Amino acid sequence: MSPRYSMAVDTRRCVGCNACVIACKEENALPPGAFRDWIATETKGVFPHLQQEIRSERCNHCARPPCVRVCPTGASHVNAGGTVLVSPRKCTGCSACITACPYDARFINPKGYADKCTFCLHRVKQGQEPACVASCPTRALAFGDLGDPQSPVARALRARTPKVLKAETGTEPHVFFTR
Amino acid sequence: MTELDLNRHNLYIDPHLSVWGWEIAVYLFLGGLAAGIMILTATLGRAPPAERSRWGRLLVFAAPVALSVGMLALLLDLHAKLHVFRFYTTLRVTSPMSWGAWILIAIYPATILHGLGSLTAAEIDRLAAWRPLRALRLGGLVTWGAGCAGRHEGAVRGANAVLGVALGVYTGVLLSNLGARAAWNSALLGPLFLVSGVSAGAALSMLGPLSHAEHAALRRWDLAAIGLEVALLLLYLLALASGAERSGQGAAALFLGGRYTAPFWALVVIAGLAVPFALEIAAGRHGRRPTLVAPVLGLIGGLSLRWILVLAGQA
């Protein structure tokens, strides 16, 4: 059975240190002003009774990705392990996928194509973790095959209550947040 | 309170989406205009040639011209312009943009055939003898096309009407298919852009010297299109404002007190719909000589509608 790559972000462990952001930029040689992952800090409540959640966010590699649906050339596609990728040579830079993504996870690379998180598939194929996961100093990020009960992501999701972002959009994200 | 702070600052994405600018607004407007012209000339073409003005007959050629300018705007919007051919190496069933790319290609032969069929024999001869066409050895093709359009007049007009409706609806579906953006998340955008395109097509037609019968017919079309557009705009705002989703209510607020209230009501509703409607009613009832005010305002309103909606979806 083919794997279903997923990620779990433990919001109780994440301290928003940006190590994942910098590691991603280094690993993927992203130009200035381009981010495939980022830190979201959400504060809720009424002072002094506030709750804060820090999340390391990225493309959710949705099972029903609207970006792939609207792409007119097939540049946006679902690749190995359910990862949503872009073929730069097929991309026209029309931005339809960017407007279709409810998470604003995509951007236009200065080279002219839509760019986004790849789950570092080039590393994963060599048996390594994605750069963001490998760099996390608090082990807040877990990655692996959701179908393998022994994978770090499956264990992390068993241990805590997971949620996904904007579940109401029906995109079935595969980046989970636990608390 | 709920406050979300992101440390991301991607170009065109943060602090708010701004990937689509004037190019898309102009493309959607000119696409709608071309659709309107195709539909209207398909109906005007039913009149006997004696009742038709030269402008009315030649009008159909405005559709491919408007579409070409619109496609140029679309090309300017692409970040990888050299990859534009990729639109035509596949048909993605789930992508309205892919469907639209193929519809655009079908429109050229349909409108040009219809245009050739609308020319007189003398005009065909002059066109076939035109030096650039002669140099390209296309004179014979012009004569063949005109003959073919003459023999299949009904089919050519029908194809223009059907493709015109497809093009007009597509310009709206292009946005409404992007459900992640609240202001675009409405199935009403397809019919709204279609009737707005018909109104823009009628407005462009009325800028030229039409026959009295043609002008009266186009005025009736325009009045009907404006009436439908007002109804669809009301339904669009009501559906957004009364929907259960907070994002939809926020999108409606953009037009009802928020950032786009003044341009929307001033340029689209008052200048683009109410004033042309009143002027055309007055021209029809009191037999006043039509002026260019109503059609010019109608065109401004049509462009403003697209521009404001393109921006509102990214607000």
SS (H, E, C) B21-60: CHHHHHHHHHHHHHHHHHHHHHHHCCCCHHHCCHHHHHHH
Q: Do A91 and B181 touch (CB under 8 A)?
A: no
Distances (CA, A) of B37 to A132, A150, B71, B215: 54, 63, 17, 14
Instruction: Give the whole-angstrom CA distance, residue B44 versus residue B175.
Output: 30
Nearest to A44 among B2, B11, B19 (CB): B2
State residue B225's pLDDT score: 97
Residue B118 lies in a domain: yes
Backbone angles phi, psi at A76, to 5 degrees: -80, 125
For chain A, the average pLDDT equals: 95
Specify the range with the lowest mean pLDDT, choosing from A27-31, B99-103, B133-137: B133-137
Is the CB of residue A44 less than 8 Å from the CB of residue A51?
Answer: yes
Rg of chain B over Cα atoms, rounded to whole angstroms, equals 21
pLDDT in tens, B79-118: 999 999 999 999 999 999 999 999 999 999 999 999 999 8
- How does pLDDT run across A60-85, given as a tens digit for each residue? 999 999 999 999 999 999 998 999 99
The answer to whether residue B13 sits within a structural domain is: no
**Residue B10 placed within a domain:** no
Neighbours of B250 (CB within 10 A): 15
Q: How many domains is chain B partitioned into structurally?
A: 1
* Beta strands A162-163 and A141-145, pairing class: unpaired
Contact of B237 with B229, CB cutoff 8 Å: no
Cβ distance B261 to B193 under 8 Å?
no
Structure confidence by residue, pLDDT tens digits, B253-304:
999 999 999 999 999 999 999 999 999 998 888 877 778 999 999 999 999 9
Question: Whole-angstrom Cα distance, residue B52 to residue B32?
Answer: 24
Average pLDDT over residues B121-132: 88
CA-based nearest distance B161→chain A, Å = 25
B11 domain-assigned: no
CATH of A5-64+118-178, one of 3.40.50.970, 3.30.70.20, 1.10.3720.10, 1.10.10.10: 3.30.70.20
Give domain status of residue B4, yes or no.
no
pLDDT in the model for residue A159: 86
Chain B residues inside the 8 Å CB shell of A98? 12-13, 17, 19
How close does chain B come to A66, measured CA to CA in Å? 8
Q: Is residue B140 part of a domain?
A: yes
Statement: residue B46 has pLDDT above 90: no
ipTM of this complex:
0.90
- Residue B245's domain comprises 22-312
pLDDT at A15 over 90: yes
Q: Is residue B27 part of a domain?
A: yes
Supply the DSSP symbol for B266: I
Domain membership of residue B8 (yes or no) is: no
Rounded CA-CA distance A100/B17 in Å is 11
CATH number at residue B101: 1.20.1630.10
Nearest to A91 among B83, B179, B245 (CB): B83
Q: What does the alpha-carbon distance between residue B116 and residue A30 come to, in Å, rounded to a whole number?
A: 53
